[in-house]
Amino acid sequence: MADKSPELETLTMNMKLLKLDPDQTLEESPNCDTGSLECNGDDSNSEMQSEQEQQTLPIFEKFEKLSNKVANLRKEHMALCNEVKIITADSFPGSEVFTALQSLGEEHEILKKKYQEECQALKNRCQLECSERRRLYNEVIELKGNIRVFCRCRPLNDDEIAKGSTSVVDFESAQENELKITGSDSSKKQFKFDHIFKPEDNQEAVFAQTSPLVVSALDGFNVCIFAYGQTGTGKTFTMEGTNENRGVNYRALEELFRVSEERSDIMKYELFVSMLEVYNEKIRDLLVEDGNIKKLEIKQSAEGTQEVPGLSEVPVYKTDEVWELLKRGSRVRSVGSTNANELSSRSHCLLRLTVLGKNLVNGQQTRSHLWLVDLAGSERVGKIEVEGERLKESQFINKSLSSLGDVISALASKTAHIPYRYASYTLTSYHR
């Protein structure tokens, strides 16, 4: 055992490194028969030591092999560590793709930031351009005149031709936008207007002159277009028209729908239609479906504008809906027969288009009204030979038309006081 002690010491040290218990390992070794050792307790010491050496030798060889394996594993571990240290991104397959993706991500962030900056710049520019367009457009309207007067001369009707009547209007000798009227004594009077429509001019030509005013309503301005004249001169035809030859009312809404669609990328519009008549200074809603006539009064709103609480406001989305509403309102309008006209309008018919606009760029909102008015015909009471209720109607009509003339005169002269309160029609349609 003396010459084996160094080897045993080495084995013990290796077992300690492997965190093994030498005594436990020896006891659990398959080559060690502990029962045999206990049974031979009476044998000599030399025989016991010999047997123990023979049993210990295979254990030593196993642990020596394990020690070598551990040493080899350590070498492999060191080699792998050295390989890991020299590994870079270029060492992996597809590293070019990774680099390209990283570069694209950075470029995307740059482009995104640039896009947001350009979008904001375009929004600011769009806002400025819209404001400038609106200013210039309405400046042109103002240069033409905030109050503009057109004259439309209708052709002779069949009854007038049958009676041998001739036109007293002279267009040939007149200058542009001027006409001459021949009186009963053959004297001629000259009149000048902003525009003159001859008998051959159609409904489209009439609306072409009024359409710029219609577009101003989409810009947030209050606009009023009305037809004024004697009974039987064609005011209702000009404003309402027929199925085949529609007038200003229908064409105005058609234009509003068209322009609002063009601006749909920057503006959102909502249109509402109201229709009322002023009959003997009383206001009547023409769009009430159940036929009940409500008593409506003119009130001043908190914003200082004149409103009619309870007046029907019907949202419209297409022109076909508008035409049905116009026909429904016209059917219940007050009419009567006079010597001047078999179906004379005995009331002022007011079509109000409410335009709500919202700018999708800056959120600015606008609200405006477009009034399209078919006035009752002006009449000379003695000439039309009316009495009773018709006489009362004529007196109210002439009074309100006289008040309208006073309002227009005050607006044209830019006086401080506008006498719009003297008649229901002027009070309803006037906006400061």
- How confident is the model over 79-135, as pLDDT tens digits? 888 877 776 655 555 667 778 878 888 888 888 888 888 888 877 777 777 777 777
- How confident is the model over 177-198, as pLDDT tens digits? 888 888 878 888 888 898 899 9
- How confident is the model over 139-163, as pLDDT tens digits? 776 766 678 889 999 888 888 888 8
Provide the token pair at 62: 């196993």
Q: Is 236 annotated as a binding residue?
A: yes
Q: Is 305 annotated as a binding residue?
A: no
Q: Which is more confidently placed, 217 or 127? A: 217
- Please check the confidence at residue 65 and state whether its pLDDT lies above 60: yes
pLDDT at 353: 92
Pairing state of beta strands 150-152 and 195-197?
parallel
Q: Order of strands, edge to edge, in the sheet holding 169-170?
A: 169-170, 178-182, 188-192
**Residue 360 — very low, low, confident or very high, per pLDDT cuts 50/70/90?**
confident
How much is the pTM?
A: 0.65
Pairing state of beta strands 348-359 and 267-279?
antiparallel
Over residues 245-257, the mean pLDDT reads: 91
Greatest mean pLDDT among 121-125, 343-347, 379-383: 121-125
Cβ-Cβ contacts under 8 Å for 390 (sequence gap 6 or more): 336, 338, 346
Q: Is 428 annotated as a binding residue?
A: no
Q: Which is more confidently placed, 285 or 22? A: 285
pLDDT at 429: 63
When computed from its CA atoms, the radius of gyration of the chain, rounded to whole angstroms, is: 51
DSSP of 52-97: HHHHHHHHHHHHHHHHHHHHHHHHHHHHHHHHHHT--GGGSTTHHH
Q: Is 24 annotated as a binding residue?
A: no
Provide the token pair at 311: 């007046």
Cβ-Cβ contacts under 8 Å for 217 (sequence gap 6 or more): 223, 256, 353, 355, 368, 369, 370
Q: Is 363 annotated as a binding residue?
A: no
Q: Is 235 annotated as a binding residue?
A: yes
**Residue 22 — very low, low, confident or very high, per pLDDT cuts 50/70/90?**
very low
pLDDT at 42: 46
- How confident is the model over 260-279, as pLDDT tens digits? 998 888 889 999 999 988 88
